[in-house]
Every structure is written in C-alpha cells, then in structure tokens.
Amino acid sequence: MAVINDVNGSQAFLLLSALSFLLIAYLVTSFVYNVYFHPLSKFPGPKFAAYTRIPYLRAQLTGKLPHYIKALHDQYDSNVVRISPDDLSFTSPSAWNDMFVLQRGRETFQKDVIIYGNPPQGVHAVLTANDADHVRMRRILAHAFSEKALKMQEPLIQSHVNILIDQLRQCSITSGGKVDVEAFFRWATFDIMGELAFGESIDCLRSQRHRQWSSMIFDLSKALVVMSASRRYPWSEKTLRHFLPKQLMRRTANNAKLISELVDRRLKGGNEKQDFCSYILKYNDEKGMTVPEIKANASLFMAAGTDSSATILTGCIYFLTQNSNALKRLSHEIRNAFNTEEDITFASTPKLPYLRAVLDESTRMYPPTLAGQPHRVPKGGAMISGNWVPAGVAVQINQWAAYQSRQNFVEPNTFIPERWLDDPRFSADQRDVYQPFSVGPHHCIGRTLAGAEMRLIMCKILWFFDLQASEDTKTNWPDQLVYLRWQKTPLVVRLTPREVPQTE
C-alpha cells in the first residue's frame, strides 16, 4: 500500500514539476518575445508594459490612464511610446492626419471595439457606425449642425443661457456670493442639448426632476471603463457585469426608456421647432435614418454634447480665478465690446480674440475628450509620424498627454492664453497637435455649436458678474481622476452681480 502511495506521490510530483516548468518556460518565452522580438519592440516603453497589460489596466481602473500615458511620454522623452503589448500612444502633431484623415488606397482606421463595445440593442449611432452607415447618418445630421441651422437655433440657446444667468444671480444672492459653477454648467448644457435633441427642455436649471441624469454621467463613465477593461478577457466580461451597481444599471435603463419616449413624442410633434429633429425629418428619405437610429443618435448627443462643453467652461472659470491678469484682460475685452446685453450674440462673440485664446488655453490645460480614441491600424499597416506600425496594433492620441508635453508646448503646464495670440515667447509651440474636436470623417459634428455656446456663456457671465476665487475654491481643483471624462468635483467660486448698462 505504502509502495503504491509512493508511486502516486512521485507521479504527482513529476506532473507538477513538468507543469511548473512549462508555465515558467511559457512566461519566459512570452517575455523574451514581447520585449525583444515583437514587431513593436523597437518602440520605447517599460519592459513590464511591453510584456503584460497589467500596468495599463491598473491605470485605467484606478482613473489614471492619461496620467500613466503622460508619465511614459515624459520618462522616455518621446512622442511615441508602447503603453501595453499591442498599444502605442502618439503625441506628435502629424499623428492626427496619419490616423484619421482618409488616404487613397488605404483602409480607414477602425475604432477599437474592445474599448467602444457594442451598442445596446445593436443599433449604432454615428460615432461607432461602420463606414457606409456613418456616411449615411452624417449626411442627414450635417443639416442639423450647419451654420444656417445654428442661426435658427440661437434664440433657443439664448433663452437657456438667460435662465442660467438668472439662476446664478439667485444662487449668488442666497448663498452669500458662493456658487458651484460645475453643477450650473452641467445643468445648462443638459437643458440646451435636451431642447435641441428632443424639442423640449429637460429643465435641470430650474427643477430637480432630471438633475440626477446629468450627475449620472460620472458613474456611468466609470462603469463603461470597467466594461471596456473586462472585454480584454472573454471570461471577465460577463462576470464583471454582475458587480456593477444595480442602481446604476436600473437608472441607465430608465434613462434609455426616457430618451426613447422623448424622441417618440418629438417625432409625432411635426416640424415647426428649430431643433435637430426638424432637420432630420425634413431630409430623411429612403436612404435616411430609422427611428432606432434617431434614438441612438439623440442619446449620443446627450452624452457627447453636454459634459464636453461644461468641462471646458468649468476649467475656464477655474483657470481665470487662479490668474488675475487673464481675468482682468478678458473682463475688460468683454465689457468693452458690447453696449448692452442684447449685443452678445453668436455673430458678435467670435470677434473677441482674447476670449478665443482663453477658451483654447483652458481646453489645452483641461481637455474634455480624454479617451484617446483608440483605433486599430488597418490591413497592410500604416506610417504614423514617420514610424511603420503593423496592422492590428491599437494606436491612440491622448489629448491631455499631447497638450502637456514639453515637446509640443513651451511651459506646457502653465495657463498662458497669450500663447494663442502669436506671442513670440511661444513661437516653438506645436499648435497643430491641438485638435480638441479630432480630424477626419469622425471629427466633432457639434464643433461650431459648442464654440458658439461656450463663447455666449463666458461673455454673459463676465458681463453680469465679477468673478473671484472663494475660500472654498480648491487650488488643486484639476487634480482629478479620469474615467473617460474628468471626474469633476464642485468648483465653488464667488460671483458678484455687477451694474450693467440697461437696454434703452
């Protein structure tokens, strides 16, 4: 009996030893291959990141992905780094065109489905649609985002900006001047986009009813990051889904239902409003969009067209409160450009050069789009910024890392609007790398709208109020985690209503 046990024991020992040996051999071989022989081994980056995705996933799940990518670009002093076994990050200006602009004879770079995932109910909006569907949807949507449409939409947007100003005034009176502008900008941009996407107000500024919707975006983007990390491994996607907060999942489902009802109501409502649907209905022919696609796009507008502008506006207020010269110069420019409030319009505000510089510099310091837009290199490979990259590799441009790079900007970590005004101190700035709205066929369709909205809001705020930091303004406010978007915390500043010239 003892002999049999000994034989079994030694067989088990041999088996275990063989398995351990195979495992070690596999780990060593894959390390040596990934680090020294992989087609990406020529790119700079840490050996551990070349070997395993663990550092990337850790950064992603702890809300520090842009920080991780920026640190690697700084450490290797390079505008291309290998951030995981098959991911490259670029911060060079030419990478934008090389990746996103159509090139004859080359297939397009496709969005990395591991990151973007598949849409609920399988209906894609314009952002993730395949090339043919993208062209079809974009053709219809272009009418709703044209200069002409924007002109017609101005009264709607002005009315919401006026509500914002009234609400800020009331809040500043009741709270001794202290106002959390982060919340107000989020509510205002939701109200404006609700009006344009559904033809009715979500009314976050005046009522509590839908405010939860606007604050939910932060939790939702965390959940999206967890899901996208989990898609890396087939076993983890289904498992991790069970750990997402049930309340968030319930609220997301309720939201989707609400969006669907709002679109249904709008589609029944005819064509007299100046919102997006009026254009979609007018130009929707047999090659147009289906109702589920209209709903998917309405949902995208609420996600893409609200927090992005609100982030730049909040960042802009923060940087102005920390830079008294810039605040003084901008207040002076705005208050001298107009005679009365009525002069502040979509047509007049682009004429203010310092305002443009302040908004660009706020966007450079605190860009709202932080996902890096990971895309896969198409069949046949591609040249990106002078580097040959094989097919299938995931490539991205992380805007924050690119804008904070000393290879691209002089004094990159300092807020200096003058750099956008041809100040010779900044002649070495690589301004071409600054593409907050991306380039190519998928560039932001709401770019003109966002610019008009942000200029209007900034002008009206500095027209009606004196702005100052308050004792509650955190001086390190932008030190925030990132889950696709900055996880913004309240920004409490002092707004004091000022005497303004009255309309005759």
CB of 382 vs ligand HEM, minimal distance in Å: 17
Partners of 388 in the β-ladder: 383
User: Is 408 near ligand HEM (CB under 6 A)?
Assistant: no
For Cα atoms 334, 336, 338, give the angle at the middle one, nearest 5 degrees: 75
Query: Pattern of binders to ligand HEM over 91-130, x per CB under 6 A?
Result: -----------------------------------xx---
Query: Pattern of binders to ligand HEM over 436-475, x per CB under 6 A?
Result: xxx---x-xxx--xx-------------------------
The one among 161, 220, 223, 304 contacting ligand HEM by CB under 6 A: 304
Select the span of 176-184, 235-243, 307-315, 477-485 touching ligand HEM (CB under 6 A). 307-315
CB of 37 vs ligand HEM, minimal distance in Å: 33
Select the span of 17-25, 68-76, 212-220, 305-313 touching ligand HEM (CB under 6 A). 305-313
| Helical axes 291-304 vs 246-268, angle rounded to 10° | 120
Query: Pattern of binders to ligand HEM over 130-169, x per CB under 6 A?
Result: --------x-------------------------------
Q: Is 444 annotated as a binding residue?
A: yes
The alpha-helical segments, DSSP class H, found in 338-444 are 353-365, 399-403
Phi, psi of 206 (to 5 degrees): -105, -15
Select the span of 82-90, 153-161, 304-312, 377-385 touching ligand HEM (CB under 6 A). 304-312
Phi, psi of 144 (to 5 degrees): -75, -20
Give the residue with the Cβ less far from ligand HEM, 362 or 430: 362
The one among 72, 88, 179, 312 contacting ligand HEM by CB under 6 A: 312
DSSP characters for 18-34?
Answer: HHHHHHHHHHHHHHHII
CB of 453 vs ligand HEM, minimal distance in Å: 7
Read off the amino acid at residue 335: R
Pairing state between β 382-384 and 375-376: unpaired
User: Is 301 near ligand HEM (CB under 6 A)?
Assistant: yes
d(CA 70, CA 62): 15
The answer for residues whose C-beta is within 8 angstroms of residue 19's C-beta and 6 or more apart is: none
CB of 304 vs ligand HEM, minimal distance in Å: 4
Q: How many residues bind ligand HEM (CB under 6 A)?
A: 22
Does residue 432 contact residue 101 with C-beta atoms inside 8 Å? no
Tokens standing for 311? 């982030």
- Give the DSSP H/E element, type plus range, for residue 471: none
Does residue 55 contact residue 46 with C-beta atoms inside 8 Å? yes
SS3 letters for 361-380? HHHHHCCCCCCCCCEECCCC
User: Is 349 near ligand HEM (CB under 6 A)?
Assistant: no
d(CA 331, CA 308): 24
CB of 338 vs ligand HEM, minimal distance in Å: 23
- List the binding residues for heme: 444
Binding site for ligand HEM (CB under 6 A): 126-127, 138, 300-301, 304-305, 308-309, 312, 368-369, 373, 436-438, 442, 444-446, 449-450
